[in-house]
Chains A and B, each alone.
Chain A
Amino acid sequence: MTPVLEISDLSIGYGWDESSALIAVRDVSLVVEAGEVLGIAGESGCGKSTLAMAATGLLEPPGRVLGGRIDYEGVDITSLSAEALREMRLKDISIVFQASMNALNPVMRIRAQFDDALRAHGVRSESERGRMAEEAFELVRVPPRFLEAYPHQLSGGMRQRALIALAIVMRPNLLVLDEPTTALDVVVQRSIIQSLSQLRRELGFAIVFITHDLSLLMEMADRVAIMYAGGIVEQGPARELYRSAGHPYTRALLTAFPPIEGERRRQDGLPGRPPDMRELPPGCPFAPRCPEVMDQCRTVTPPSVWRTEAHRVVCHLETNATHAEEEVAP
């Protein structure tokens, strides 16, 4: 079966010519199978949002694809026209942004915004458009009467639900969520995450879920990819990464959130800060902060090692040690 999304050796830069471009995403390869949740975790500036923009065909100059492909159901979307991309969005791929609380038009009733989107995608019958909007609202558990409301009349959580409703109104096969719950309270966040998880089981779409909160991602995702300085440093099944993370950065992210109960115990933080993408160090970009750094890390680019069929780690430690010794529970 063709994956919903297949990204191969993708590099993206910002800049008007190739030589001076700032490389925001480098040599990223990812596969999203139908109906699965792929989580992408990383800190600000690691390239995760750039990747999301490219995967939904929203990358705009000065951002540009420098190499590689993004195949949606076998079609390379990096070669599609703006017109073709516009047609795909909402119908095949939808995205819900981080700051999407403010993504609705404040002076239009929500129903009119659904109506516009559906009309642009060729749904001719007005009653059909109304029915689709109402059904989408029911799916995200917002009473359809709120379609008559203006965005400011909705709470933050409801606005976010309304946007998810808009994103799934045409039943796309892929939903990209870029920090969809970051600005929300924990309880509201939890209920939205639960709804999303249920919806994808009912409707069968795949999700790419992007966040800096690895603990949330571990619950939500089937597979997880960890990004650092524009590249993927580790990817694999969520449970496997949680039990035996291979990359020191993954381990640091897992302990970055202290436990919620039990004995209070000091944990060491990760020293330093994410690198400046304009002057990445040679070798492994994580080397300056890595608690397990070795000489070769500072000069030689680390290899990509497959631990198991689905679990890949980009780190010199993988070639130097056997995995039995490597198993470190977070």
Chain B
Amino acid sequence: MLEIRALTKRYSIGRGTRRKYVEALTEVDLSVERGEVLALVGESGSGKTTLARTITALEQRTSGEIVVDGELLPVRARGRRLRHHRHSVQMIFQDPYASLDPLHSIGSTVGRPLRSFDIVPGDQVQAAVEALLDEVGLGPASEFLKRYPHELSGGQRQRVGIARALAARPKLIIADEPTSMLDVSIRLTILNLLLDLQRAQGLSMIFITHDLASAHYMSDRIAIMYAGRIQEIGPTTDVMGNPRHPYTQLLREAAPDPSREIDEIDHFEDRGDPPDLAALPNGCAFADRCTFVKDECRQALPDLVEVASNHHVRCILYV
């Protein structure tokens, strides 16, 4: 459904002689099958949101290819071609408070993609909106149609965001941390809603998160990103049950686990912060925080190598 080849995104910062380049994504290869959920996991600055924004053409890529359902997205997609792309790929945003227009009613927000992509005839838009609202658990729909975002709770707003994304009848949905701003007790209901819809409609989905537990809950495959590159990718149960890359292992160990007491992992050294993307070191960007670091790590970056079936890792330990 989605095929990404050597995708690179470079930003420039500063002017004149102080101009610097920041590579947010470096030669990312990635594919998502029909009906598959791929989780994209990483810390802030790892490039996961930039990846989402280039795939949805909210940002132009610097180089590489993005192919959706066999069709190559032009680097400068405009007009009809861009609309066609947005018809296929929809995004669910992190912040349900900022991603809905406060001046538009829920009915108008969810109805817009239906009209704009000519999905149903004009006189059937309202019925289609009601069906969508029912589907995302905002019932009775007639009650929500005329409401405005400020009248809804965070969870309800996120359901509107999901209905809006579904309205375009996309082939691929990109959900960027869709529950991180919601109350803890309602996160699971939103994740379950996404899974139910994805399964019922056979959608492909990229689920972006920094939380390994929800990545594990949602996905068939997991890709771990660090400093703009994929460091490990493979089937979810395999990557989580037997993480190979030292960074994945670090993330795994750092994740909260209520079954243990803090003393059991007391020697978690201070592993520092993620690297500055404007001044990435040679070789592996994780080298400075890695306990297995060797001299070679700072010289050249290894390619992804297959360590188990469909499970690839970019680390010198496995070369």
Contact = CB atoms under 8 A, between A and B. Distances in A.
A binds B: yes
Contacts of A166: none
B185 A256 contact: yes
B188 A267 contact: yes
Contacts of B236: 264
B127 interface: no
Contacts of B189: 269-271
Interface stretch (B59-67, B166-174, B247-255, B292-300): B247-255
B214 A269 contact: no
B237 A264 contact: yes
Nearest to B264: A219
B216 A259 contact: yes
Q: Which interface class (under 10, 10 to 19, 20 to 34, 35 or more) fits B?
A: 35 or more
A30 interface: no
Contacts of B265: 194
A249 B236 CA distance: 30
A258 B254 contact: no
Nearest to A185: B43
Interface string A104-122: 0000000000000000000
Contact of B184 (A191, A214, A264): A214
Interface string A275-307: 000000000000001000000000000000000
B261 interface: yes
Contacts of B258: 214-219, 242, 254, 257, 330
Given A193-B262, A216-B256, A252-B185, A185 B216 contact: no
Contacts of A263: 237
A329 B289 CA distance: 37
Interface in B224-273: 236-237, 240-241, 250-263, 265-266, 268-271, 273
A244 interface: no
B213 interface: yes
Contact of A260 (B43, B188, B257, B270): B257
Contact of A273 (B153, B253, B260): B153
B273 A260 contact: no
A325 interface: no
Candidate in A216, A220, A239, A261 with the most chain B CB atoms within 10 angstroms: A261
B271 A219 contact: no
B191 interface: yes
Interface of A: 43-44, 141, 155-158, 185-191, 193-195, 197-198, 212-220, 239, 242, 249, 252-264, 266-271, 273-274, 289, 330
Interface of B: 43-44, 153, 155, 183-192, 195, 210-214, 216-217, 236-237, 240-241, 250-263, 265-266, 268-271, 273-274, 289
Given A187-B289, A194-B266, A213-B256, 18 more contacts: A141-B270, A155-B273, A186-B254, A187-B43, A191-B254, A193-B262, A215-B256, A219-B261, A255-B188, A258-B217, A260-B252, A266-B195, A267-B188, A269-B186, A269-B188, A273-B155, A273-B185, A274-B185
14 contacts: A44-B183, A185-B43, A191-B271, A194-B262, A197-B262, A239-B261, A242-B259, A252-B185, A256-B185, A260-B240, A263-B237, A267-B217, A273-B155, A274-B185
